[in-house]
Copies of this chain bind each other. A is one copy, B any other.
């Protein structure tokens, strides 16, 4: 029997309609072959990107030269432009403003053929640190209201370049998805004085039906009202509204659980394309009692999509309890 499930944060109903006998291998999609074209993110090609904003590099090497381990550059084809004022204006019933914003690329490794899962933990920790550092830096600009860190892996997930990278966008508005989470979270907080995300974590850890991994600081799980097969979240156990509140020892535990999660997805879904997005509270000084930052990973495994855009309801053929079981079963003992 299919089931309707309500997302406890934003109130979205999802149809969980298991297709009989569907196995993870039915989700593996034909991926475009890696091509051998010129890569603007590779060492030696630093002059092709705009001048670097930041890099971890070997002593004695200068900016925009080889010798870096992680390199942050402005996006050469930004969706938003950093210069100018917003000039918000009204035209009848419509509102518009200039597309002011920042769009950066974090080149995660100099090695063209390495994925996040091929990197040592110490390297992953540095990437997580770079996300925090750049977010904090962008948050200083009074024009911006939110910063979104995200990664598209694979052309099918929207990556136009194969070389492993993430993106950081700073926006003069709050994306609708985050607004919905804020509204839903505030409503629950008003009614219960609890953070809805904390309540979800408490229940997930107690029931253990959808939990994949956990350590002292973080838990990864398949959300109850998952929109997509193998949708996976990573969330801090302790209430924290902003990613930038991460403390030094947590880079280790976050890198550990992120690496495990990505490796599990790679095994079960045969290196799927995916979107990975940091959901964090808008730029503010104080901690919000009703919001809880987290990472959402959406493997791009269903061949088609688009229907959901029109109707706003999602049909997920994979119960999250099953997805979690498949992911948990993976042996990571190499």
Contact = CB atoms under 8 A, between A and B. Distances in A.
A120 interface: no
B80 A199 contact: no
B175 A313 contact: yes
A3 B93 contact: no
Given A96-B4, A98-B3, A203-B94, A277 B152 contact: no
A212 interface: no
A5 B95 contact: yes
A95 B93 CA distance: 37
Given A4-B100, A13-B173, A275-B310, 20 more contacts: A2-B98, A2-B99, A3-B97, A4-B98, A5-B94, A6-B95, A10-B176, A13-B176, A15-B79, A17-B79, A92-B199, A94-B225, A150-B311, A155-B304, A157-B306, A173-B313, A175-B313, A176-B312, A277-B307, A298-B309
Contacts of A10: 176
Contacts of A273: 306
Interface in A281-324: 296, 298, 300, 303-307, 309-313, 315
Nearest to A277: B310
Given A175-B313, A298-B310, A304 B224 contact: no
A148 B307 CA distance: 11
Q: Quick one: copies of this chain in the complex? A: 2
A41 interface: no
Interface of A: 1-6, 8, 10-13, 15-17, 19, 77-81, 84, 86, 92-100, 148, 150, 152, 155-158, 171-173, 175-180, 196, 199-200, 203, 207, 224-225, 227-228, 273, 275-277, 296, 298, 300, 303-307, 309-313, 315
Contacts of A199: 92-93
B315 A79 contact: yes
B304 A306 contact: no
Contacts of A4: 86, 96-100, 172-173
Given A94-B8, A99-B4, A311-B150, A305 B158 contact: yes
A79 B2 contact: yes
Given A152-B307, A307-B158, A3 B99 contact: yes
A169 to B, nearest CB: 8
Nearest to A308: B309
Contacts of A155: 303-304
